[in-house]
Chains A and B, each alone.
Chain A
Amino acid sequence: MTARLDARPLALVAGLAFVAWPLVGSSSTWLTLTLAGLAMGMIVFIAASGLTLVFGLMDVLNFGHSLFIALGAFVATSVFAALAGEAASTSVATSLGLVGVAMLAAMTLSGTIGLAFERVIVRPVYGHHLKQILVTIGGAIVGEELIKVVWGPAQIALPPPEALRGSLLIGEATVDKLRLVSVAVGLVVLALLLWTLNRTKIGLLIRAGVQDREMVESLGYRIRRLFVGVFAAGSALAGLGGCLWGMNQQIVTPQIGGQVNVLLFIVIIIGGLGSTLGCLVGALLVGLLTNYVGFLAPKATMFSSIGLMVAVLLWRPQGLYPVVNR
């Protein structure tokens, strides 16, 4: 409904893909890398969206977010193990159904644990940034150890369901089937998120709360209840992201959350803390760049995301889409 949209960060995404084309050389390889980058970007966006809203709404920096990502991935291993027969089926519908069940289970468990995490760990330290950081990191460590207790310390293989293995040939480009599923799921989540934020009163309250919490309370809304809801939803989305991430990596380790967490913080800082659109653009940039650099100069992959963050912050110190009024 708001009239203006700053298109330059969006142009940056297109520009990055455009610049990479001649560098990569082969068009089919470029298409493969671009689709893989978009898929990774969508997964990272799903996992990061809750983190940025939680920070925007209540200034809570939740370093425990990684826990929900790991939970989502491990729940997927359990669902796949329990439904081994379905996982071996060659029917596409059965495979998609299995992925759907795993995603729902991951979201349910992560969301529920998220509610408890907010009540027990985050609520006592509202307004104390240092304590938040320490206590949420502590919560994540405890959670990670509990995951080892439940699922064991060893890595668990998470092969895709039979019918979703391998790639499709689109023209000359090979596209991983599972990545297509990830992009589709990401688009659905994005659409639902945008619809909720822009077309519902709850979404309006969230957007307003990110700008000026005190005024939203002065208008008679209980922002803490809203925050608890956003925290649980954000945790559920982290679980969904973890589930998809684990399936794409095909292997799940107890450290999975910590690995993804670094990416998530880079993404929400690039995007502008608290901004949903910024989170999406940041995630796409990180996803694309990681894939291009991984192909062109594999050794520089680890550095590329940090380098991107440095470059973006030099250009826009508040991130791509700074939240005003803060």
Chain B
Amino acid sequence: MSDKALLSLAGVHTHIGAYHILHGVDLEVPIGDVTMLLGRNGAGKTTTLRTIMGLWPASAGSIAFDGRRIGGPSGDADGSTDPALRTPEIAALSIAYVPENMGIFSDLSVAENMLLAARSARTVEQLDRTRLEWLFGLFPALKTFWLHPAGKLSGGQKQMLAIARAMIEPRRLLLIDEPSKGLAPAIVQNLIAALKELKRTATTVLLVEQNFEMAKALGDHVAVMDDGRVVHRGPMAELAGDEAMQQRLLGLSLAAHA
């Protein structure tokens, strides 16, 4: 584990229309580790990821990636005058994003979905074979349905495609929004196994989850959100071993999962 933060948010506020969703989020994502972002529905986890990607602009505070300011209004507290980057520019810094709805292009084939995520390849033939075989090993269904329209995949297979797509080229940071959502427990186990494999490559990951079992299995660090703020930050092991803390931070329902 390293303590250097690859991504850091300081006092980030986000407004969506008339709604004030994030109320000053402070978050550090250490390099090479998996950071879990937990919290109840409506706590602001998805908004945090979307704000990092620049899909919703931060109205105050700042977001920095590898020491470079990527989000937040210019001239804010840190005195920086760099304008916020747009979503494509943020993604081009080698950040991959798996949204809550997975963002699968259902009219396109599995192969075409993968090709889109590989910015250096112009044709399917130019995809890195070694990496592709590695991904096929993790998600065999992708090989089976390679030329099929992605819309025909099952929910679990779509999630596999969404995550594989984010991994088709090495990325410095992966943002994944609730991959276990709506999946059967057996499929979640497959997903955990695949993400553990990803973890071995020391890719930095910020993973939003409601499934505490998955969080325990994968997380090095944890941040818990409530009402648009991060209310707890620490090692995952500490939270995993302290039921009283789980109950206090995550509520009964989540602790009952564990």
On A, residues with C-beta under 8 Å from B are 1-4, 200-201, 204-205, 207-208, 211-212, 214-223, 323-325
> Which residues of chain B in 103-125 are interfacial with respect to chain A, using CB atoms and an 8 Å cutoff?
103, 105-109, 111-112, 115-117, 119, 122-123
Interface residues of B, Cβ cutoff 8 Å to A: 53, 55, 86-88, 91-92, 97, 99, 103, 105-109, 111-112, 115-117, 119, 122-123, 147-149, 151
Q: How far is the CA of A194 from the CA of B113 in the complex (A)?
A: 19
Nearest residue, chain B, Cβ from A205: B116
Q: With contacts A1-B109, A223-B88 known, is A216 near B53, CB below 8 A?
A: no
> In the complex, which of the residues A201, A207, A219 contacts B107, with contact meaning CB atoms closer than 8 Å?
A207
CB neighbours of B88 from chain A (8 A): 217, 220-223
Q: How far is the CA of A172 from the CA of B106 in the complex (A)?
A: 48
Known contacts being A217-B91, A220-B88, is A211 close to B105, with CB within 8 Å?
yes
Q: Give the chain B neighbours of A222 by CB distance below 8 A.
A: 86, 88
Inter-chain CA distance A214–B147, complex, in Å, is 24
Contacts known (A1-B112, A218-B55); A208 close to B147, Cβ less than 8 A: no
- Pick the most buried of A1, A4, A212, A215: most chain B CB atoms within 10 A of its CB: A215
Of chain A, the residue at the smallest CB distance from B117 is A219
Contact A212 B111 (CB under 8 A): no
Q: Given known contacts A2-B149, A3-B148, A204-B115, is B107 in contact with A218 (CB within 8 Å)?
A: no
Q: How far is the CB of A320 from chain B (nearest CB, A)?
A: 15
User: Looking at the complex, which one of A4, A205, A214, A218 makes contact with B149 (CB distance below 8 Å)?
Assistant: A4
In Å, the complex CA distance between A205 and B107 comes to 12
A-B contact count, CB below 8 Å? 76
Contact residues in A for B99 (Cβ distance below 8 Å): 214-215, 218
Is A217 in contact with B116, judged by CB distance below 8 angstroms? no
A105 to B169, CA, bound (A): 43
Q: Which residue of A lies closest to B115 (CB)?
A: A204
- B106→A211 contact, CB < 8 A: yes
Q: What are some 16 contacts across the A-B interface (CB < 8 A)?
A: A1-B109, A1-B147, A2-B107, A3-B149, A201-B115, A201-B123, A208-B112, A211-B106, A211-B107, A214-B99, A215-B103, A217-B86, A217-B87, A218-B91, A222-B86, A325-B105
Contacts of A223 in B (CB 8 A): 88
CA A110 to CA B114, docked complex, whole Å: 36
Q: How far is the CA of A220 from the CA of B151 in the complex (A)?
A: 22
CA distance A216 to B147 in the complex (A): 20
* A141 to B116 CA separation, bound complex (whole angstroms): 40
The reply to whether A324 and B119 form a contact with Cβ atoms under 8 Å apart is no
Please indicate the chain B residues that have their CB under 8 angstroms from the CB of A208 in the complex. 105, 108, 112, 116
A218 lies within 8 A of B87 (CB): yes
Contacting residue for B116 out of A4, A200, A216, A323, CB 8 A? A216
Are A325 and B107 neighbours in the complex by a CB distance under 8 Å? yes
Of all chain B residues, which has the CB nearest A321? B107
A219 touches B115 (CB 8 A): no
* Closest residue of B by beta carbon distance from A1: B109
